[in-house]
Structure 1
Amino acid sequence: MPDQRGSRQNTVFPSGGREAHGYLARPPQGLGPGLVLVQEWWGLTPYLAGVADRFAAEGFTVLAPDLFGGDTTHDRAEAARLERELPVEQAVQDLRGAVGHLLGLEGVVGDAVGVVGFCMGGGFALLLAAAEGDRVAAAVPFYGLPPDREFEYRGLTAHVLGHFAEHDRSVPMKAVDEAAIRIGEATDVRPEIHFYPAGHAFMNEEDLLGTYDPLQARTAWLRTVSFLWGHLG
């Protein structure tokens, strides 16, 4: 069963006429660009809240929506069920609500935000960028693509930095290359894609899949922070 006690919620924001929940982390200086952080299939775990805190320490105001409504898990089968049962339209609506909420917060600078997502969240990062157009200036998917591999990406104007693993059965390199081509065909965006000699979820320090790679994680982190500041700063 999902562990509802594990979800890290500390804020509420409007989403399509209802309330959505999430985790908000602010930078030490109080001012910074907005960043939407999209969870893995494990849910809005303490680990993901820690990632939000890391981005906040780098100077971003971070909002991680709780797409599973409080459920978290460390069980792969349960995580797969939670992801499978998540309505895509509802998730995108909550993510769009997060963009609007961030842009309205005191201390958030600029008229566009960035989005970073991991695994399931990587696909949603691209869906959000396509849905929000100019309100998302930078999108960074980690080893994740939209559930519909034929997604057209129309509306996406954000700069895209993709981090993917060479040894990833769930997101093979061919699928990544095809997605980059589709983005280029549908938009004026030319994604910057990096492949790492690692497995899926190589960034996740909890190492639930046994694929965490600290060296590749560090490289991807530095690239991501530099990229976000380059397009949001």
Structure 2
Amino acid sequence: MHQLGRVYLVLGLALLLTACSDSPEEDFIDRMTQEHKGDSPVENTSQQLNQSGEVSGQEVTYATVNGKDITGYLSKPEGKDNAPGIIVIHEWWGLNDNIRMMTDKLAGEGYTALAVDLYNGKVAESPDSAGTYARSVDDKEALANLTQAYGYLNKSQGADNIGVIGWCFGGAWSLQTALAHPQKIDATVIYYGRLVTETEKLKTLEMPVLGIFGEEDEGIPPQKVKGFESALNEVGVENSIHIYEGAGHAFANPSGTRYVEKAAEDAWQKTVRFLEQNLKGE
């Protein structure tokens, strides 16, 4: 074969493979679809996680993305002004009642907690619709959304120390928010979200990281979690990574069918202590 012909052949095969391969985000959502097969939001039982204090919650407009106002759920501890802030990022189901209740629980621990909405008001009732909504999220728009959430907590709510927490789809965005604002975010909590293991990216992080994962999660397998932990250690990022035996993906969601009470309660206590140490200095 002529040399030029071989070059074109190689280029053509490369383009074909690129076209046929999924992006990392699509691959992650495919895995989440498999992990949530047969799952659905059920009657909410998140009161099992005792709320520590009285709170007040309301819907607020905290951002404008591409000319559209973005509404989230803000919950604040009663009698506490200028409390530390937390950006709360929903699972792939969307900003539903479970996320609002978890936001109230964080506020009950003494934080001004803002649950963001990356789905523009849409809430999923099935894995298929959740996957569709997750795939529709534009990365640049989501990051603009989350950046403005930080600004809202900092400027409008007087929060100096601000952390971020997310579950599943939101866990992935919790890490992405930290990577985008390594000098602003003071604490990052990731519940079984898509991970980054490249040390060149992770070395920019300047805040401690708490990671909560399930041993039986095939979407975010223990091997990947351990690789993430090793990479954080290699670049000197303070971290606390926990893999729970007998728990799968979404084990900490009391409104889903994958809930594992004992593991979820322990993870919540670790979350509370982590946030106290890094946002309140206690």
- TM score, norm. by length of structure 2: 0.73
Aligned mate of 1:30, from 65, 80, 91: 80
* Residues in 1 aligned to 2:58 and 2:79: alpha-carbon distance in whole angstroms: 22
Corresponding residue to 1:125 among 151, 170, 174: 174
Paired residues in the alignment total: 220
Q: Deviations over 1:150-182 (max 9, x none)?
A: 582353211100000000011101111222233
Q: Tell me the residue number matched to 2:227.
A: 178
Structure 2: which amino acid aligns with 1:221? W
Structure with greater strand share of residues: 1
Q: Distance in 2 between matches of 1:124 and 1:135?
A: 15
Provide the rounded CA distance (Å) in 2 between the counterparts of 1:20 and 1:43.
13
**Aligned mate of 2:240, from 169, 192, 195:** 192
- Written as runs of structure 1 = structure 2, the 5 A alignment for 1:67-106 is 67-106=118-157
AA aligned to 1:30 is K
Q: 1:131-158 CA deviation, whole Å, 9 max, x = no partner?
A: 1122111000001124x66582353211
Find 2:264's aligned residue among 217, 224, 228. 217
Q: Pick from 236, 241, 252: which aligns with 1:203?
A: 252
Say whether 1:230 aligns with 2:277.
yes
- The structure with more radius of gyration: 2
Give structure 1 stretches of 5+ with no counterpart: 1-7
In structure 2, do the counterparts of structure 1 residues 22 and 73 end up closer, same or farther at CA, with 3 Å as the change threshold? same
Structure 2 Cα separation of the partners of residues 79 and 130 of structure 1: 25
Deviations 1:71-130 (A, max 9, x none): 00120011011111211221122111101110113453x3x3011100011111011011
Q: Percent identity?
A: 33
Deviation at 1:46, TM superposition (A): 1.0
Alpha carbons 2:203, 2:236 under 8 Å: kept: no
| 1:167 paired residue number | 216
> For the residues of structure 1 that align with 2:239 and 2:116, how far apart are their CA atoms?
25
1:167 counterpart SS class: coil
Residues 92 and 128, structure 1, Cα contact 8 Å, conserved in 2: yes
Q: Which residue number in structure 2 is paired with residue 141 of structure 1? A: 190
Mapped to 2, the partners of 1:138 and 1:157 lie a distance apart of 9
The one-letter amino acid of 1:176's match is V
Relative to the length of structure 1, the TM-score reads 0.88
Separation of aligned partners in 1, 2:58 and 2:227: 36
Q: Over aligned residue pairs, what C-alpha RMSD do you find?
A: 2.0
Tell me, in whole angstroms, the C-alpha distance in 2 between the residues paired with 1:99 and 1:106.
Answer: 10
Equivalent-residue separation in structure 2 for 1:101 and 1:183 (angstroms): 29
Q: Could you tell me how far apart the structure 2 residues matched to 1:75 and 1:149 are?
A: 30
